[in-house]
Amino acid sequence: MLSERDRSVLEHMLKYCENIERAITRFDITLETLKTDEDYRTIVSMYILQIGELTTHFSKKFLETNTDMPWSKMKGMRNIAAHKYKNFSMELLYGVLIENIPELKAYCLKLLA
């Protein structure tokens, strides 16, 4: 059973995953687009930042019982997006967008069901 706080965090994460999906559809999913389109890169990076920030709002109990997601790595991506934006690896960001975001979305949907 999810607490209201944890449910709210998951709902917000899901919203950001869906926002990323819309951005991918709008701007295209290629690595080249990510490298060359600053607007696209900024949009998805801000959503990644928000997802990482949300990981700090889960309850201790949630984090202890839901260890199958890399919450600390998500927070690490947030720190890169916030503090080292100019040095963000486009290949890493691309991988997160096409692999990790769909996994996170599915995970959120599963827990919220």
In terms of Cα–Cα distance, which of 74, 91, 76, 95 is closest to 16? 74
Domain boundaries, given as residue ranges, for the chain? 4-112
Per-residue pLDDT tens digits for 28-60: 889 999 999 988 888 999 999 999 999 999 999
The set of residues, in sequence order, having a beta carbon less than 8 Å from that of 33 and lying 6+ positions away, is 27, 40
Nearest-angstrom CA–CA distance, 68 and 107: 10
Q: pLDDT-based confidence at 23, cuts 50/70/90?
A: very high
Query: For residue 39, what are the CA distances in angstroms to 23, 36, 81?
Result: 10, 9, 14
Query: For residue 18, what are the CA distances in angstroms to 39, 49, 83?
Result: 18, 14, 24
Nearest-angstrom CA–CA distance, 67 and 70: 7
Give the number of other CB atoms < 10 A from CB of residue 110: 9
Per-residue pLDDT tens digits for 59-89: 999 999 999 999 999 998 888 877 776 677 8
Identify the pLDDT of residue 78: 87
